[in-house]
Structure 1
Amino acid sequence: MPKSPEALLEFLGKLGIEAETHRHPALFTVSDSQSLRGEIPGGHTKNLFLKDKKDNFFLVTVDEDAQVDLKTIHHKIGAASRVSFGKPDKLMEHLGVEPGSVTVFGVINDDHHRVTVVLDADLMDNDIINAHPLTNEATTSIGRDDLMRFLEAVEHQPLVLKVTE
């Protein structure tokens, strides 16, 4: 059973990580997010759940306005071949979320460590990172260093790479 947004926020609290969560109507696209966001400071994320031909899975998290070349990203992230989007059943299996709710926080559900986390270097220039807390009906703001602590706590050492164009 995937963890709930409440369980995620409780886990962050147990780590001593302060995070602020803003509730809002469900957001499915970056455009939806930008129109309803209001004044939430920091970098806002776009997440790509990708797989290569050897069924290696990648969660690539970039700034919401970033351009990613899916034809060449496999060279940058160490995929075995060109990548495609992971299917919804694999997204649920590995990250415990549905399409529209993909988030870096989803790796809390990746108990088997099947997903490689890739954070874009440009996104990591922000002091605050904003991501869905396992639901697209909220946005959670977390410090960049606290995000790294969270990833370490769930045993996902991220690759911080320049993946955007």
Structure 2
Amino acid sequence: MMRGEAGLLADLGALAIPFAAHEHDAVFTVAESDAVHAAMPGAHTKNLFLKDAGGIFWLVTVPSDARVDLKALPAAIGSKRVSFGKAEDMERLLGITPGSVTPLAAINAEPGSIAVVLDDALAAADPVNVHPLRNTATLGLAGAAILDLLRHWGHQPLITTIPVQESE
């Protein structure tokens, strides 16, 4: 059952998790995000919705400036070869559309239907800025609080160092 943003806000209240909410214009690109993020303290994120060769879906959250090494990623997360997931799978599993991807969308995912991964630098950061299931707002909350929410929703998040491409 899709609990959506209302469920997310209810759980933030129930778990007494402090957060900062920022409303803004819709952002679709990292460049647009950068302009919005300049006004917000904390770590910014980028999310990859992936499917591996074994048919498992992955939601991987990394720092926004990370260029993820997709060849090295499977070994780091204990997966097989990965490719980008389709928008219809994202909508079916997470109830969101591309552009609004966030680890908080796991509120809509059945436990076990998707593997959620958080880069270890983000897990330790505070605040971490993520979308509340839409790209016209950003929530800033501790990485530890994101992990608490994921566990509250029945997911077992994997925290690991996500491999990045060496800059040219």
Q: Calculate the TM-score normalised by the size of structure 1.
A: 0.93
The farther-off stretch of 1-10 and 41-50 is 1-10
CA distances 1:58-86 after superposition (whole Å, capped 9, x unpaired): 1100000112011221111111x210011
Match in the other structure for 2:147: 148
Matched AA of 1:110: A
On the 8 A contact 2:21/2:138 being kept in 1, the answer is yes
More displaced, 42-51 or 139-148?
Answer: 139-148
Partners of 2:73 and 2:23 in 1: how far apart? Answer: 33
Identity %: 43
Is structure 2 residue 101 aligned with structure 1 residue 106?
no
- Give the partner amino acid of 1:101: S
Gaps of 5+ in 1: none
Count of residues paired in the alignment: 164
Give the alignment of 1:11-160 within 5 angstroms.
Answer: 11-79=11-79, 81-160=80-159
- Post-superposition shift, 1:164? 3.0
On the 8 A contact 1:3/1:96 being kept in 2, the answer is: no
Q: Distance in 1 between matches of 2:97 and 2:77?
A: 23
Structure 1 counterpart of 2:162, one-letter code: V
Any gaps of 5 or more consecutive residues in structure 2? none
CA RMSD of superposed structures (Å): 1.4
Q: Distance in 1 between matches of 2:106 and 2:117?
A: 12
Q: Which runs of 4+ in 1 moved over 4 A?
A: none
